[in-house]
Amino acid sequence: MDAAVRLTDVTKTYGAHRAVDALSFTVPRGSIFGFIGPNGSGKTTTLRLILHILYPDSGGIEVLGRAGRRAANDRVGYLPEERGLYRKMTVRRVLAYYAGLKGMGARDARREAAAWLERLGLAAWADRKVEALSKGMQQKVQFIATVLARPELVILDEPFSGLDPVNLEVLREVILELKRQGITVVFSSHDMSKAEELSDTICMIYRGRKVLDGTLEQIQDRYGMDTVRVRAGGGAGALEGIPGVQKVRDLGQVQEVRYGGDPQELLKALVARTRVERFEVARPSLHDIFIRIAGPAAAEEGDGGA
């Protein structure tokens, strides 16, 4: 398999803290790769390692076929989690500068920037200073800066956080469009449902260690068909005491049940107890799988820089 990024046993420590621990994974070329895990699990550190902003203590990192440091950086676009634009520069100049740093010619960059600004509805703002733009517009400019120099690999750190629904949809479309053009997209997210929608391949890390990777189907196959979504009179209470029920995740109107045996038995037991409005044998969600692997405590883990 032709790999856009290949990590082999990569470890990075900060003092006593092991941010990334013997991490290995492969990003297939031309795919959308979701890199997921709760906040503070080492996602940003890993992305910075891929960009050679940081250097690993041990292990190998190969990007676009080059193992050398920074050798491939001109072909990689990066959207950091915290957006960074010069507030006093005009949109056009910032974009020209960032593209120039990737080695793009000035005229080429101008043309490409104009096209992107047009496409994302910012053409009228091209000669305004960045500080005059709204936060949403600045995020779009930052995104244009990421893809302007026609990278072969795009790395997006938490691209969906802080976006309103309209911009979220715009970003999704653009990411899919990049994929159609054959560009590899790696994005990190702590929001598993986003990853589920978009990714071809997923890698899940927790406390610096990989807990899971593969395509969504592979992962779900591995974790079986033991999840049942139920809507029944009495809500979660109706499920209490039925043998074989291992876990109930109460979503309000619907309960997600992990059931050890044949789902037909569960249905029978339920019908005997109450009125069943909905009964669906489903694959477990990524979130569910994550909880199963990392334990319930992991879901609560939040804060602390990723």
Partner 1 sequence: MRKVWRVARTEYLNLVRSKAFLIGVFLMPVLMGGAIALQALVGDKVDLRDRRVAVLDRTGTLLATLEEAARFRNEHGIRKDGVQAAPRFVVEDAADADVASLSDRVRGGDLFAYVVIDEGVIAGDEGAEISYHTQTPTFRDLPEWIRIVLNGRIRQERFRAAGLDEALVERLGRPAPLRQYGLAKVTSTGEVKKEKVDEFAVFGVPAIAMFLLFALVMMAAPALLNNVLEEKIQRIAEVLVASVSPFELFLGKLLGTVFVSWTLSLLYIGGGLFVAGHYGVLDRVPFPLLGWFLLFQLMALLIFGSIFSAIGAACSELRDAQSMMTPAMLIVMFPIFVWFIVLRSPDSPFAVGASLFPPATPFLMLLRIAIPPGPAAWEIVVAVAATALFTVFCVWAAAKIFRIGILMQGQPPSLRKLLRWVRAASE
Which residues are at the interface with partner 1 (CB under 8 A)? 48, 51, 53-55, 69-70, 73-74, 76, 78, 80, 82-89, 97-98, 100-103, 142, 145
Angle between helices 91-101 and 135-147 (to 10 degrees): 30
Gap between the Cα atoms of 17 and 72, Å rounded: 29
Cβ distance to partner 1 smaller for residue 142 or 227: 142
Token pair, residue 265, equals 């038995």
Are 85 and 127 in contact, with CB atoms under 8 Å apart? no
Cβ distance to partner 1 smaller for residue 132 or 251: 132
Are 131 and 88 in contact, with CB atoms under 8 Å apart? yes
Q: How far is the CB of 53 from partner 1 (least distance, A)?
A: 5
Q: How far is the CB of 120 from partner 1 (least distance, A)?
A: 18
Cβ distance to partner 1 smaller for residue 85 or 230: 85
Cβ distance to partner 1 smaller for residue 77 or 263: 77
219: Cβ contacts below 8 Å, ≥ 6 apart:
202, 212, 213, 286, 289
Cross-strand partners of 247: 258
Token pair, residue 19, equals 């941010």
Q: How far is the CB of 95 from partner 1 (least distance, A)?
A: 12
Cβ distance to partner 1 smaller for residue 89 or 114: 89
Please name which of 253, 258, 248, 259 lies closest in space to residue 235, comparing C-alpha atoms. 253
Q: How far is the CB of 218 from partner 1 (least distance, A)?
A: 31
At residue 7, the 3 state secondary structure works out as strand
Cβ distance to partner 1 smaller for residue 86 or 161: 86
134: Cβ contacts below 8 Å, ≥ 6 apart:
none
Q: How far is the CB of 156 from partner 1 (least distance, A)?
A: 12
Q: How far is the CB of 84 from partner 1 (least distance, A)?
A: 4
Cβ distance to partner 1 smaller for residue 130 or 245: 130
Gap between the Cα atoms of 182 and 138, Å rounded: 26
How many CA atoms, within 13 angstroms, populate the side-chain half-sphere of residue 29? 12
Helix-strand-coil percent breakdown of the chain, rounded to 5? 40, 30, 35
Q: How far is the CB of 61 from partner 1 (least distance, A)?
A: 14
Q: How far is the CB of 88 from partner 1 (least distance, A)?
A: 7
Cβ distance to partner 1 smaller for residue 87 or 278: 87
